[in-house]
Amino acid sequence: MFLILKLMDCDLDTYVNKVSKETLNLDIIKDILRKILSGLEYLHDTNIIHRDLKPKNILVNYINKDDLEVRIGDFGWSKLCSIVQKPNTRNLSN
């Protein structure tokens, strides 16, 4: 099975190393994180677990200096979960 993604400018690792510290302000960082978490929420809602999330697998497209298109890539280790699993944590308050 193949997954075709839009051609993107770079990955998050390259972007962070390429831009100046003034450009990478707190608002941009929060926006990138919000977009990554939104993508993860969508994947989890469709029962897909990525299992290899790292800066090299987050793709970035420059729209303008204050707005980036962010996508999750490299689904080689991803897994489709067909059953709902209980969390591996337990309530320690009892």
Residues annotated as catalytic are: 52
Q: Which helix (H) or strand (E) holds 79?
A: strand 79-80
Spatial separation of the C-alpha atoms in residues 1 and 72, rounded to whole Å: 18
What is the DSSP code (8-state) at residue 55? G
